Amino acid sequence: MVRVTDHPRFDRERAQLVLTAAALVAIALAPVVVAYLQLGFQADVTASAEYDAPDRNAERVLSRAVHDAGTDVPATFAWDQREAAVAGVRSALGPRLDALRSSRVESGTVYQVEYNRTAAEEWRQSNCPGGPNRQFGACEDRRGVVVQERAGRTHALAVAFDVRITTERATTELTLVVQTVGG
């Protein structure tokens, strides 16, 4: 006796039915895949936004570098040695500035960092009080670094920078004045 389900014709029809169902599922999922690819994945968008913020990166690196330079060059210089203190601050900043300049070159972001003497002078004029009631001594801006006389010693207060950031999308120019710990 031959059963209906054992017949080769039914096996062929069942295979065609399974194949047709699989094709329908694939066709139904195609718009979902296309929509997913067009909209993107949210985590990628967030990471891209952080990576595409080179100005915040420059500000963070320079802030940390100035903080460290202010700590590395303590007030061991007498006020009449303030030029040596400024040279010490700039020397301590040198490796960090070089690292920032070359940090993202391979990804197409180029940082150019220079000291800004004018911004340092403006910061000094607006942040260093004058007159007989001031708490500390005179302030001076030297080669982009603001120093002040405190108890006969030289203290670095702030460092001013011009930063130019070039990416494949745009060029951004910033002027940053970063205060030291004691500034």
pLDDT along the chain (183 residues), means of 10: 58 76 79 68 48 82 90 78 93 92 82 96 90 80 93 91 91 93 67
Does 28 share its domain with 104? no
User: In which domain, by residue range, is 20 found?
Assistant: 4-40
- pLDDT for res 51: 52
Does 167 share its domain with 82? yes
Whether 33 is covered by a domain: the verdict is yes
List the alpha helices (DSSP H) in the chain.
8-39, 42-51, 54-72, 82-102, 117-127
Whether 15 is covered by a domain: the verdict is yes
Does 141 share its domain with 68? yes
- Report the alpha-carbon distance of residue 38 to residue 71 in Å, rounded: 50
Q: What is the pTM of this model?
A: 0.69
Residues ≥6 apart with Cβ < 8 Å to 85: 73, 75, 77, 147, 154, 156
Cβ atoms of 130 and 58 within 8 Å: the answer is no
- pLDDT for res 151: 86
Give the number of domains in the chain: 2
Does 112 share its domain with 134? yes
Does 138 share its domain with 102? yes
What count of Cα atoms within 13 Å lies in the side-chain half-sphere of residue 41? 4
Token pair 């207060």 in the structure block, residue: 157
- pLDDT for res 129: 78
Does 24 share its domain with 112? no
Whether 134 is covered by a domain: the verdict is yes
Does 73 share its domain with 120? yes
Does 17 share its domain with 92? no
- pLDDT for res 18: 77
- Report the alpha-carbon distance of residue 147 to residue 80 in Å, rounded: 12
DSSP SS3 for 116: coil
